[in-house]
Structure 1
Amino acid sequence: MAKGNTEKMWKKAMGVTAFIVFVGFGAVLVSLFRWQIVRGEELSAKALNQSLHSTTLSAMRGTIYDATGTKVLAKSASVWTVVLEPNYFKDDDGKDNEALRRKVSSGLSRILDMDEETIYEKTGENSFFTYLKRRVESDVKDEVTAFLKENDIDNGVRLIDDYKRYYPYGTVASTILGFTGSDGQGLGGLELQYDSELRGTAGRMISAKNALGTDMPFEYEQLIGAENGYDLVLTIDETVQSILEKYLEQGIEQYQIKNGAVAIMMNVNTGGILGLAVKGDYDPNDPFTIYDEEVRKEIDALPEDKQDEAYNNALQKQWRNKAVSDTYYPGSVFKMCVGAMGLEEGVITEESTFTCTGSMPVEGVTGGISCWKHAGHGLENFHDGLCNSCNPFFIHVGELLGAQTFAKYREAFGFTEQTGIDLPGESWSLYHSVEDLGPAELATESFGQNFSITPVQMITACAAVANGGYLMTPHVVDRVVDSEGNIVRKADTSYRRQVVSEETSKTISRILYDNATFGTASGGYVMGYRVCGKTGTSEKVAEFNADTSPDKKMKYIASYCGFAPVEKPQYALLVFFDEPDGDNNGNLTGGNAVAGPIFSAIMEEALPYLGIEAQYTDEEYETLDMVTPSAVGLTLEEAYRQLDELGLSYSVVGDESDSSILVTEQIPQVGENVPKGGKVVLYTNGYSEEDTLVEVPDFTSMDLSNANYAASLAGVQISVSGAGATEGGSASMQSVEPGTMVKKGTVITITFVENINTETFVPLG
């Protein structure tokens, strides 16, 4: 019995044991399946991460070139990152080498301008890799290298290649280029728009860790090289860009511009932007510094709790690309488009007539809408109506078109959509829908008021008027290329649609040429270059209505838009000044007087550079300045003879007691312009420098006769520019600021403009 019980118990125990073994092995198998199969990849990755340390290595950001392909506008310069390898600061037995740590901390703190104790703490970390300081320049890198060599330090401190963005031309094209952040990412302009192309692919340095989690020495590292970014070749020409910026700055100072300025030059046949200047601007090498000194002073004068907000607002304003991100009423510049609409639809011809009485009755507007010429233009045909910039005539054209047709062309010219320019932050226009385009809205939009567009939309529409009616896509990047120079992507220069016929385009161009020569846009006239142009003086109505101050006054935007040459247009230019406050006498706020002379000066300098040859009329040729001959090194007798033969007069400053005395200097200098029949001042030895200096007068608002008289009294000469000089015009701009001290005989270029007060105020009822 006992034996049977024992056997039963043994069998039972064996069964339990077998069950336990089965369950146990089953659990193990299930666990193995879970860890090896189900989560195997995840755990392998974690194990790899625990045994490897990965460090990002910067790729070299692509270079940005101007249109010539030779001028570098933005590049990545080599800098270095200083890295510590703390485990090399230990002895063979694993104890800290206190003396070495102190030596390294002391030396690097001086070179890197860092706190010594901070560096000392880092030298004690349990690692073979820790960052100390990023993006140090070459001179600092050389000091670090010399320090390590002098102290026989082979391990523990490393220098890794890195890159820093650099803009060789400073403020030039800053709002186009943008800038990069501390980690190399694009934060504005093309740097942001083309960030993915420019930044390349970062590399990796992968180092192994031991079982304790400590980085292994660099022998166990694997380096995966970075792939450099693509380069950009722009349509922006640095020379053209600099010309635009130079004259915008001159206009801002001369006409006391309160809210910035824009100039855009476009190739009308491709949409390529040769120059896009915005003032004020900033230096992308130091983008977080407020560039405008007056703004900095205003911020510093604020209470401390207000300064941060004001600083951030000022930064956003100086980074903002006004040409792309701001909207404005285009004013009478828009009339070139409305005229093209009317001609294309056949509701008017060049000879269609209208009688301007000085105002136009409009349904919904009490008292109607006035013309800038309150007495009215009388009977005029369309050609004269455009040259007169007659608002009632264009209200009449708008009525003939009707809301539906007007809106159709407004859309076709691109005013209801973004242009697609390859710059960030492009704004949408603001306009009345067809349903809301009642008589008053249609009337005001017909002469460029009461709807808002961007400057880049206006220059794009102007290009369509000029090039045969084809709407292009504006762009600033011509091509994206790799490091071998292979083209990765090219800009699309095909047209989006044809808005008007080539015949309409030619008709409007011819009228705009007459307008720039003897019409209300004569401020933009350029001798020899057959420029077409239209002015605009638009009111900032929304701001005026929102202003509750008792002494509020209307603010204006003065603009000039045109193209050249009339026979085969190639380049269009828009110049735009926001809130001109007038000259020193409070005069000159209209588009013709303010923007016209700047447009003229830009075209006069840019067109020859771009290969457009001057074609002077007989009348223009007669008034051309001469090139001053060289008299330096000649005797007075020889100089007199040479100048007499050229019809130039002369005077002598210094010793003229003997005709054999040598000329040591001359004004104007050789190669500079001098008016025909003008004077060359010859300098010899024996004169005092102070006796040769004279003060430049303020010629503003003078006619040609008075300007010549003032110049004669001051001892300077004038060179005449602009169509208004012989037509009773007034001086609007001068090449040298009033009050400047110059040498006797210096030539001052003065731009004369007719119709100074054209369009300066258009009451809206």
Structure 2
Amino acid sequence: MQKSSSRLKFRNSRNLSVKKRQKVSRQRFLEKLTPKTPEPVQSSKVRLLTVWAILIFSALGLAFNLYNLQILQGKKLTQKARNQQIVSLRTFMPRRLVIDRNNNVLAVDRPVYTVYAHPKLFDKSNEEIAQKLAPIIDKDAAELVNTFQSRKSGIILMPALPEEITNRVIALRLNGLEFMPKYSRLYPQADVTSDVVGYVDLERRGQAGVEYSQEKLLERSVQKVRLMQSGRGELKPDNAPEGFLHADDLKLQLTIDTRLQRAARLALKAQVDKFRAKRGAVIVMDALDGSLLALVSQPTYDPNEYGKAKIDLFKNWTVADLYEPGSTFKPLNVAIALENGVIQPNDTFNDPGSLKVGDRFIKNAENNGYGRISIAQILQHSSNIGMVQIIQKMRPSVYYTWLERLGLGQSLETDLPFGVSGSLKSQARFIASPIEPATASFGQGFSLTPLQLVQLHGALANGGKLVTPHVVRGLVDSNGKMHYSPTLPAPRQIFSAKTTQQVVEMMETVVSEGTGKPSKIAGYRIGGKTGTAQKASPNGGYIPGARITSFVAVLPVESPRYVILAIVDEPKGENAYGSTVAAPIVKSVMETLIPLEHLPPEQFNSPAETPR
């Protein structure tokens, strides 16, 4: 019992000891977990200061960034935002129409479509699609089938299908066809006016004629339009400026008369074909103001299919090529001599048929003499000897000064492109050799363009003034009101009206009695001059057997106004002269011109019909 009690006491004391130790351990553990009173207060202050520091620095950063965005970069960012919200558009505007003096359309933009085929999207067989398409687009059905089999997608069937034909294709409701709209230039008159109008290429840039030289007038001025767009990129038409899609109705009007142009081309082509000539040209000018009523060359091209033409046809050779005018220049030399007082209209000269000048002999074209002849008869017979004697009455230096005054050796101002300057020897060389003035007296030894010769004869027709040949009348609206007309150089007086009228009346005798008889028209007084000149070689001298035939006319003699020139280059045959090749062309053109311009027949006998 005592032992049991002892053991119980021992066990209880041990349990108390264990509990005491556990209590001490818990207390120590809690002491570790619970900081002393000063430590928690210090930690809170640090954390608070840290948070405040972060907030202050963040606020400063935000303030600086706001200052940077609003003040420093404000304008730049505002503009950037506007650029994102506003889009700039340059609307497409068709090229202006080209019309003739009577408002006939010569060139116009029309909507066309590039037609793509995507055979992989066909819901019918290639053969079925081809059979339906072929007759409409003027293609062979078998050829279309082969085309469809060449690729699965993106096949160009037609690069420029007219709108009316495209509508017929769309009406077939065939899957797998795609139509891309664009504008194409159409020339309704085809090759009739191509020498003047020219053409535009696939990039819609003029490459010839007025399409090239008047590009600035033909391209409508279109300003950029700024429109608002939504976040999805959709344009907001509500903010579009009023009338931004409005296109003016101005047209480029030319001085050309298509009716006369067509008549000139038909007459020229007939003679070029008949005499198997290399080329030819016809020019009709109103000498009062220099406006060109017709200007054609042959061969020519269709501007609707310019890709099939020879590249040299794109430059109108009446302004781009030089030639020696030959006898058609003789009336101008007569005017120079009359103006200088070295001859009088009734003077006569002896023509023995040949004449030695320096170390050379000059002969008439017919190798015969005409004896004592008047100045009018010198023009009638185209006497080279008579012309040499007339010019020999002038000092070479004076004569040369007059040739320069006429503009020889200089470029001709005109609104047609690719013009070239004439060729005239230097004054020192011209004066040093007596053969130079002699050959110049009958139109050789220098060169000019056919258009420049027309300008010079225009001075004989209008009382002695050099006017500027041109084809552009100006920009007109649908009511015919002129909004712009080009400023032309002022006419330059070179001959007196008295001199020019005397020369024109002498030219009348060429038609009534001389080599120009094939151009006679009953009831009308016409002045004219034939020319059959040797053709100069690019390497110097003349091409054996090659000639240029020409005829120039002025009408009506009683009140001169119109100048018509026909040139045929290298006609073949023994009977190829200015009188046989070129004069009939001019007659045909005048027969069209007279009713178009309402020229009345002469009511009185002309001087040429009065007995001498």
Asked if Structure 1 and Structure 2 have the same fold, meaning a TM-score greater than 0.5 normalized by the shorter chain, the answer is yes
Contact kept in structure 1, 2:119 and 2:151, CA below 8 Å: no
Q: How far 1:592 sits from its partner (Å)?
A: 2.0
Name 1:195's counterpart in structure 2: 215
Task: Indicate if the aligned counterparts of 1:201 and 1:226 stay in contact, CA closer than 8 A.
Answer: no
Structure 1 CA distance for aligned equivalents of residues 199 and 255 of structure 2: 19
Q: Tell me the equivalent position of 1:63.
A: 97
Matched to 1:480, the amino acid is L
Please tell me whether residue 184 in structure 1 is matched to residue 171 in structure 2: no
What is the DSSP-based 3-state SS (H/G/I as helix, E as strand, rest coil) of the residue aligned with 1:247? helix
Whole-angstrom CA distance in 2 between matches of 1:410 and 1:435: 14
Q: What residue is the counterpart of 1:579 in the other structure?
A: 570
Residue 441 of structure 1 aligns with which residue?
A: 436
How far does the alpha carbon of each residue in 1:265-288 deviate from its partner, in whole angstroms, 9 at most, with x for none?
A: 111212111111110101111111
- The one-character-per-residue Cα deviations of 1:310-338 (angstroms, maximum 9, x if unpaired) are xxxx2x21222111111110111111111
TM-superposed CA distance for 1:177, in Å, is 1.1
2:329 and 2:443 in contact (8 A); partners too: yes
Residue 345 of structure 1, CA deviation: 0.9
Which digits, 9 at most, give the CA deviation of each residue in 1:91-116, with x for residues without a partner?
A: xxxxxxx9997769999999798869
- 2:499 is paired with a residue whose SS is helix
Q: What SS does the corresponding residue of 2:372 show, helix, strand or coil? A: strand
1:468 to 456, 459, 463: 463
Q: Matches of 2:368 and 2:169 in 1, distance apart?
A: 79
Match of 2:163 in 1: 138
CA distance in 1, matches of 2:464, 2:336: 11
Q: 1:593 to 1:99 in 2, by over 3 A?
A: closer
Q: How many matched pairs?
A: 549
Which residue of structure 2 aligns with residue 276 of structure 1? Answer: 295
- Tell me, what secondary structure is at the counterpart of 2:473? strand
Paired letter, 1:374: N
Distance 1:144 1:401, change over 3 A: same
Question: SS in structure 1 opposite 2:537?
Answer: helix
Matches within 5 A, 1:282-321: 282-290=301-309, 314=310, 316-321=311-316
Distance 1:546 1:332, change over 3 A: closer
**1:381 aligned residue (348, 357, 374):** 374
Alignment partner, residue 110 of structure 2: 77
Q: Determine the structure 2 residue equivalent to 1:426.
A: 419
Cα distance change on mapping 1:485 and 1:100 into 2, 3 Å: farther
Contact 2:549 2:577 in 1 (8 A): yes
CA shift, 1:417, in A, is 3.3
| Contact 1:53–1:208 under 8 Å retained in 2 | no
**Distance apart, 1:220 and its partner CA:** 11
Give distance in 1, aligned partners of 2:150 and 2:579: 66
Q: TM-score normalised to the size of structure 2?
A: 0.76
What residue in structure 1 maps to residue 496 of structure 2? 501
Where 2:190 maps in the other structure, the secondary structure is: coil
CA RMSD of aligned residues (A): 4.6
Secondary structure (helix, strand or coil) at the match of 1:285 reads helix
Show the counterpart of 2:595. Answer: 608
Q: Any stretches of 5+ residues in structure 1 without a counterpart?
A: 1-6, 85-97, 123-130, 291-313, 620-765
Residue 199 of structure 1: how far off its partner (Å): 2.7
In structure 2, relative to structure 1, the CA distance for the partners of 1:383 and 1:99 (3 Å cut) is closer
Residues in 2 aligned to 1:73 and 1:503: alpha-carbon distance in whole angstroms: 41
Structure 1 counterpart of 2:216, which letter?
S
CA gap 1:555/1:432 in 2 versus in 1, 3 angstroms: same
- Kindly state the Cα deviation for residue 251 of structure 1 after the two structures are TM-superposed: 0.8
Q: What is the alpha-carbon distance in structure 2 between the residues aligned to residue 546 and residue 40 of structure 1?
A: 75
Q: Cα deviations across residues 21-66 of structure 1 (Å, max 9, x unaligned)?
A: 989977886687665446864x4576468xx585x65323322222
Structure 1 pair 265/158, CA: closer, same or farther in 2 (3 Å)?
A: closer
Q: Output one character per residue of 1:383-412: Cα deviation in whole Å (capped at 9) or x when no partner.
A: 322323222332233333333332333233
Structure 1 residues 30 and 443: CA distance shift in structure 2, 3 A: farther
Q: Does the alignment pair 1:391 with 2:384?
A: yes
For each residue in 1:134-158, what CA deviation from the matched residue of structure 2 results, as whole angstroms up to 9, or x when unmatched?
754224532564466x88x9xx988
Is 1:530 the counterpart of 2:525? The answer is: yes
Q: 1:25 to 1:451 in 2, by over 3 A?
A: farther
Percent identity of paired positions between Structure 1 and Structure 2: 25
Cα deviation code 1:479-521 (max 9, x no counterpart): 3113454311235678511111111011101111011111233
What are the superposed Cα offsets for residues 434-483 of structure 1, whole Å, 9 maximum, x if unpaired? 23322322222222111111111101110111221111111112231134
Q: Per-residue CA shift, 1:323-362, capped at 9, x if unaligned?
A: 1111110111111111101101101111233323323332
Distance in 1 separating the partners of 2:400 and 2:169:
68
User: How far does the alpha carbon of each residue in 1:533-589 deviate from its partner, in whole angstroms, 9 at most, with x for none?
Assistant: 111112123247479xxxx7231110111111111112110010111112xxxx122
CA 1:179 to 1:99, structure 2 compared with 1: closer, same or farther past 3 Å? closer
Cα deviation 1:290-320 (Å, max 9, x = unaligned)? 3xxxxxxxxxxxxxxxxxxxxxxx2x21222
Q: Relative contact order (alpha carbons < 8 A, sep ≥ 6): 1 or 2 greater?
A: 2
Contact 1:265 1:573 in 2 (8 A): yes
Offset of residue 264 of structure 1: 0.5
Residues 1:356 and 1:27: Cα distance change in structure 2 (over 3 Å): farther
Distance 1:144 1:16 in 2: 74
Which position in structure 2 is the counterpart of 1:588? 575
Equivalent pair of 1:329/1:540 in contact (CA under 8 Å): yes
**CA distance in 2: counterparts of 1:159 and 1:541, whole angstroms:** 53
In the alignment, what sits opposite 1:701?
Answer: none
From the CA coordinates, give the structure whose radius of gyration is larger.
2
- Aligned partner of 2:506 in structure 1 is 511
Could you state the TM-score of these two structures normalised by the residue count of structure 1? 0.62
Distance 2:116 2:229 in 1: 17
CA distance in 1 between partners of 2:210 and 2:287 (Å): 22
Matched, 1:557 2:548: yes
Displacement after TM superposition at 1:167 (Å): 1.9
Assess, with a 3 A threshold, how the Cα gap between structure 1 residues 367 and 38 changes in structure 2: closer, same or farther: same
Q: Any residues of structure 2 matched to 1:609-688 within 5 Å, and which?
A: 609-615=596-602
The residue matched to 1:436 in structure 2 has which SS? helix
Q: Distance in 1 between matches of 2:328 and 2:373?
A: 19
Secondary structure of the 2:470 match is coil
Q: Report if the CA contact (8 A) 1:170-1:284 is conserved.
A: yes
Tell me if the contact between 2:251 and 2:475 (Cα under 8 Å) persists in the aligned partners. Answer: yes
Q: 1:22 to 1:450 in 2, by over 3 A?
A: farther
Could you tell me which residue of structure 2 aligns to residue 402 of structure 1?
Answer: 395
CA positional deviation for 1:376: 2.5
